[in-house]
Amino acid sequence: MSLFEELTDKVVLVTGGHQGIGEAVAKTFLNENSVVICADLAFDNNDIAKESEQLYKIHLDVSDEDSVENLTAQLIANNLIPNVLVNVAGISTMNYLIESKTSDFDKTIAVNTRGTYLITKYIVNEMVKAKRPGKVVLIASQAGKNGYRAMSAYVASKHAVLGLTKTLAIEVAHDRINVNAVCPGIVETSMKHRERKDGAEIRGLTPDDIEQEDNSQVPLGRTGQPQDVANVVLFLSSHLSDYMTGQGINVTGGMTMN
């Protein structure tokens, strides 16, 4: 059931739309009868492929400027300049900072920070040139506001995403483009499940120990689901958020409150 008629036929670009939070975001906009472009490393096609009347898919490596340029060119050629950009694509690596590999740090920054920079740079530029007011939602993390053991690269990358959010919000406010970030807490995705295994090995615990620890830290008594995040993305993409920009909205079950 559609909640926001204004989003009908609006073009929504979702990076990292193949699984997890990105998949939930894409499905949520499809329910609003939006035209959704899912861009993800998992897709093979370098040209936009039409899956249905509402859904398109295209290969994208957010850390590769050539790949981002190709996506942008495809959007222009197909008259699909977004009204809404949702940048979900992200990765994590885990180890204590003093024991971590520089290559892991570089990879995390390349995807989470450089990738966010590249996508917003190219896509928002086209929104501005087309005089297309709209919404930009960047997926940060509560790790953009706090520190977490064995996650220095991820924490640093998500702090940077919040910095990009605040700066871009100021720069494009006169173009009537709102820029906000969502800061999820512990969300049950394949990445989180892998992090529990990696974290358990690093800390000499079991994945079940980590899961119990996760649940114990959330005042609402449960970890999040991808749809919890998608719901807030939808709000930030609607008219209800028209007087909000430059914000980092926590979706953490109360785990982070600042």
DSSP collapsed to 3 states, 135-194: EEEEECCHHHCCCCCCEHHHHHHHHHHHHHHHHHHHHCHHHCEEEEEEEECCECCHHHHH
**CATH 3.40.50.720 is held by the domain 5-188+225-241:** yes
What confidence score (pLDDT) does residue 134 get?
98
The residue from 56, 122, 154, 243 that is catalytic is 154
Q: What is the pLDDT along the chain (258 residues), one digit of tens a residue?
A: 788 999 999 999 999 999 999 999 999 999 999 999 999 999 999 999 999 999 999 999 999 999 999 999 999 999 999 999 999 999 999 999 999 999 999 999 999 999 999 999 999 999 999 999 999 999 999 999 999 999 999 999 999 999 999 999 999 999 999 999 999 999 999 999 999 999 999 999 999 999 999 999 999 999 999 999 999 999 999 999 999 999 999 999 999 999
Report in angstroms the alpha-carbon separations of 224 from 127, 181, 190, 208, 218: 32, 17, 13, 17, 9
What confidence score (pLDDT) does residue 2 get?
82
CA distance linking residue 94 with residue 143, whole number of Å: 13
What confidence score (pLDDT) does residue 175 get?
98
Question: Is 56 labeled as catalytic in the residue annotation?
Answer: no
CA distance linking residue 13 with residue 57, whole number of Å: 10
pTM above 0.85, yes or no: yes
Residue in 117, 40, 39, 46 with CA at minimum distance from that of residue 82: 39
